[in-house]
């Protein structure tokens, strides 16, 4: 396995371990009466946002770049996941890092992707 493959494997393992730790911390029984399912749903959503944010930060580092985005091209998976997790500002930041475009261009691209995702 080459160095890039090992780096991606290590990054994936790190994200998985962080997700497990967050899951263990966030899935404690709820104290509110009748809030079991709703409390669990909120915690799972929060966990999904945290994992997407961590994946975005990890993927945005130069060593693990590989996002493959080009201005006007397809949206990188990590940017899409961050957007789906409800963190539009972080998605814009990640798109800027991946493509090197300005703030307005990144916002326009993420807005267009958001409209496309809603249209599905």
- Neighbouring CB atoms inside 10 A of 40's CB total 14
The domain spans of the chain are 3-119
pLDDT of residue 63: 42
Average pLDDT over residues 16-24: 71
Interatomic CA distance for residues 104 and 117, integer angstroms:
20
pLDDT category, 88, cuts 50, 70, 90?
very high
Q: Encode pLDDT of 34-55 as tens digits.
A: 556 888 888 888 888 888 877 7
Tokens of 9: 């494997």
Whether 116 and 75 have beta carbons less than 8 Å apart is answered as: no
């Amino acid at each position: 396995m080459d160095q890039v493959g090992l780096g991606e494997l290590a990054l994936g393992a790190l994200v998985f371990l962080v997700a497990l730790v967050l899951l263990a911390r966030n899935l404690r029984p709820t104290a509110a009466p009748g809030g079991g399912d709703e409390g669990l749903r909120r915690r799972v959503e929060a966990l999904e946002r945290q994992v997407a944010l961590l994946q975005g930060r990890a993927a945005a580092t130069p060593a693990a770049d590989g996002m493959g985005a080009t201005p006007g091209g397809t949206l990188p998976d990590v940017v899409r996941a961050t957007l789906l997790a409800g963190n539009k500002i972080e998605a814009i930041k990640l798109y800027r890092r991946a493509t090197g475009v300005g703030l307005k261009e990144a916002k326009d691209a993420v807005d267009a992707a958001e409209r496309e995702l809603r249209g599905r």
